């Protein structure tokens, strides 16, 4: 596909890369952004949670500054509040300007992580629709990887310590590079649930969801898979 066709296809589209810990989504987002920019397209990159000053403050609260035990519903609403700010400040203006908006994680991650903590995914979707309106991704790409390989890539062990109150141990924090602290992290079985929930997303998630294998081949091979997928997808 030439750059003109690519521009006509992707202009004003919202694309998310997501997946289990260690799937390589952040690296792949950077490679995809470079590929699209080198093809002459206008690209905006962002991340969820965060991506704005207010969103980063919320992210900081969730990561480090919360005092006491945080209810899973409170956590969920804070994530959604960050996304509301992200939509108003970054996503909607970028799409209205005809840019391609690339985001590292989105509500798909909450479905996988909070859903694996027992929060009903249909309620996550309902709250997500309230938080972001019609600003759902046109395409969500899930980079699938076996749990053991993902944890090995991140240097994390099935049982490690994280910087949260020990009573929050079963709540599913979405942040990478969690600071080690006072209590055992979620077990391997939890991460398996997260992976399964990511794989279930095409069954119920708004917008188009595609899954690619992130465990076969090197970084460049996975990048080519993503580019090929995007070139083949028909947006409706």
Q: What is the pLDDT of residue 182?
A: 22
* 189 pLDDT above the threshold of 90: no
For helices 219-232 and 3-10, give the axis angle rounded to 10 degrees: 70
Q: What is the pLDDT of residue 157?
A: 52
Q: Which residue has the higher pLDDT, 172 or 77?
A: 77
Q: What is the pLDDT of residue 185?
A: 56
* 111 pLDDT above the threshold of 50: yes
* 152 pLDDT above the threshold of 80: no
* 166 pLDDT above the threshold of 80: no
* 162 pLDDT above the threshold of 90: no
d(CA 35, CA 189): 36
Q: What is the pLDDT of residue 44?
A: 97
What domains appear along the chain, each with residue ranges and CATH number?
3-232 (3.40.50.300)
Q: What is the pLDDT of residue 127?
A: 96
Question: 219 near 31, Cβ under 8 Å?
Answer: yes
Beta bridge partners of 17: 104, 141
Average pLDDT over residues 143-152: 84
Using the structure block, give the residue that is written with the tokens 């990048």. Answer: 223
167-182 pLDDT, tens digit each:
444 444 444 443 332 2
Which residues have CB under 8 Å from 53's CB, separation 6+?
Answer: none
Tokens describing residue 229? 């997928």
Average pLDDT over residues 64-85: 85
Percent residues over pLDDT 70 in the chain: 84
* 122 pLDDT above the threshold of 50: yes
Q: Which residue has the higher pLDDT, 235 or 155?
A: 235
* 229 pLDDT above the threshold of 50: yes
Mean pLDDT of the chain: 85
- Residue 153 — pLDDT band, cuts 50, 70, 90? confident
5-25 pLDDT, tens digit each:
888 889 999 999 999 988 999
Which residues have CB under 8 Å from 89's CB, separation 6+?
Answer: 51, 52, 54
Task: Determine what percent of the chain falls in helix, strand and coil, rounding each to the nearest 5.
Answer: 50, 15, 35
For CA atoms 48, 115, 202, 225, give the dihedral sign: positive
């Amino acid at each position: 596909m030439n750059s003109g066709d690519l521009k006509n296809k992707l202009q004003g589209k919202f694309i998310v890369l997501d997946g289990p810990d260690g799937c390589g989504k952040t690296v792949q987002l950077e490679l995809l952004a470079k590929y699209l920019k080198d093809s002459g397209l206008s690209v905006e990159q962002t991340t969820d949670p965060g991506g704005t000053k207010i969103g980063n403050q919320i992210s900081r609260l969730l990561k480090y500054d919360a005092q006491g035990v945080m209810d899973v519903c409170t956590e969920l609403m804070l994530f959604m509040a960050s996304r509301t700010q992200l939509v108003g400040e970054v996503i909607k203006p970028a799409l209205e300007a005809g840019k391609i908006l690339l985001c590292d994680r989105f509500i798909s991650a909450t479905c996988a992580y909070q859903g694996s903590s027992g929060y009903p995914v249909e309620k996550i979707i309902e709250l997500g629709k309230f938080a972001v309106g019609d600003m759902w991704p046109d395409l969500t790409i899930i980079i699938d990887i076996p749990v053991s390989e993902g944890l090995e890539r991140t240097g994390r062990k099935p049982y490690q310590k994280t910087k949260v109150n020990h009573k929050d141990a079963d709540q599913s924090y979405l942040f990478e590079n969690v600071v080690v602290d006072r209590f055992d992290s979620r077990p391997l079985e939890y991460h398996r649930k997260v992976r399964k929930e990511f794989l279930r997303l095409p069954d119920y998630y708004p917008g188009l969801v595609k899954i690619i294998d992130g465990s076969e081949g090197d970084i460049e091979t996975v990048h080519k898979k993503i580019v090929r997928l995007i070139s083949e997808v028909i947006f409706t």
